[in-house]
């Protein structure tokens, strides 16, 4: 009970370190979700709409990457940006930008795979309508994404949830550096190991609040269509 009370005291005291950790977390999660959706939504829509040779293999590959272990993604990005890696000269290792790259490596396959499944389930009549209207392929993709926006909002929420809850990849490429790359999940792990349960609890409460706020906001943005 004492730890819980101290956690709420930290929340209301606007602790500088706590606010900085929240800021880094939100910046990383926002950009990784945005980039992943900009890449994954159109790719998933095309994959769901089109039939082509090798589609079954490509879907299996995407589904495999959807379960990519975070530490494997982190190690791959670390090798790219380390001093001896091909992009070492960019000096991105142990920065928020490197963390975003690692997150995108994890999230793009998830967005692509889920979008493909959703689009396949409702795209046929839309494609026939678009073909009758003489719409181009890009406009047909946009039409499919627009018509399935309720389902696609849930895809974006899944991407955001994966991003904000990630530990392994961001620990490797970010280094969990205080006042620089420490995010809520890595801070919770560190503070728990140090025995600072009040700080860890405060971060846990904030994570839950953010998840709740995002879901409420999404329900206002898109209303599920009523049938009948």
pLDDT digits (tens, 9 = 90+) for 103-157: 999 999 999 999 888 888 776 777 777 777 777 777 777 777 777 777 788 888 8
What Cα–Cα distance (Å) separates residue 143 from each residue in 51, 132, 183? 18, 13, 37
Q: With beta carbons less than 8 A apart as the criterion, state whether 37 and 106 touch.
A: no
CATH superfamily of 2-219: MetI-like (1.10.3720.10)
- For the cut 80, the answer to whether the pLDDT of residue 6 exceeds it is no
- Look over the chain and give the mean of its residue pLDDT values, rounded to a whole number: 84
Residue 48: pLDDT band (50, 70, 90) is: confident
Q: Which residue in the block uniquely carries the two structure tokens 């039409």?
A: 143
The backbone region for 175, taken as left when phi is positive above 0, alpha when psi lies in -120 to 50, beta otherwise, is left
pTM of the complete model: 0.85
> What pLDDT shows up at residue 182?
92
Contact 38, 133 (CB under 8 A): no
Query: Does the pLDDT value for residue 228 go beyond 50?
Result: no
How confident is the model over 7-32, as pLDDT tens digits?
666 666 777 888 899 999 999 999 99
Question: Residue 2's pLDDT is what?
Answer: 59
pLDDT of residue 141: 76
How confident is the model over 72-91, as pLDDT tens digits?
999 999 999 998 889 989 99
CB neighbour list of residue 182: distance below 8 Å, 6 or more residues apart: 20, 21, 24, 174, 176, 190
Dihedral sign computed on CA atoms, order 167, 59, 45, 48: negative
In tens, the pLDDT along 175-189 reads 999 889 999 999 999
Give residues with Cβ within 8 angstroms of 144, minimum separation 6.
Answer: 45, 48, 49, 119, 122, 123, 126, 127
Q: Inter-axis angle of helices 96-133 and 137-147, to 10 degrees?
A: 100
pLDDT of the residue at 120: 80
Q: What is the pLDDT of residue 204?
A: 87
Asked if residue 220 has pLDDT above 80, the reply is no
């Amino acid at each position: 009970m004492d730890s819980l009370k101290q956690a709420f005291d930290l929340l209301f005291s606007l602790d500088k370190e706590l606010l900085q950790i929240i800021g880094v977390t939100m910046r990383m999660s926002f950009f990784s979700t945005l980039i992943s959706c900009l890449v994954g939504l159109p790719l998933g829509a095309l994959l769901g709409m089109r039939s082509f040779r090798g589609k079954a293999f490509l879907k299996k590959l995407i589904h495999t990457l959807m379960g990519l272990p975070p530490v494997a993604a982190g190690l791959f990005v670390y090798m790219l940006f380390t001093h001896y890696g091909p992009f070492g000269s960019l000096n991105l290792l142990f920065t928020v930008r490197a963390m975003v790259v690692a997150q995108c490596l994890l999230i793009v396959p998830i967005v692509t795979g889920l979008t493909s499944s959703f689009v396949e389930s409702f795209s046929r009549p839309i494609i026939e309508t678009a073909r009758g209207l003489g719409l181009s392929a890009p406009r047909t993709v946009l039409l499919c994404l627009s018509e399935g926006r309720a389902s696609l909002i849930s895809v974006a929420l899944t991407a955001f949830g994966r991003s904000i809850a990630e530990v392994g990849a961001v620990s490797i490429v970010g280094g969990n550096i205080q006042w620089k790359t420490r995010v809520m999940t890595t801070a919770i792990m560190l503070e728990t190991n140090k025995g600072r349960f009040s700080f860890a609890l405060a971060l846990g409460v904030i994570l839950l609040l953010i998840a709740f706020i995002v879901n409420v906001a999404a329900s206002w943005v898109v209303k599920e269509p009523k049938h009948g």
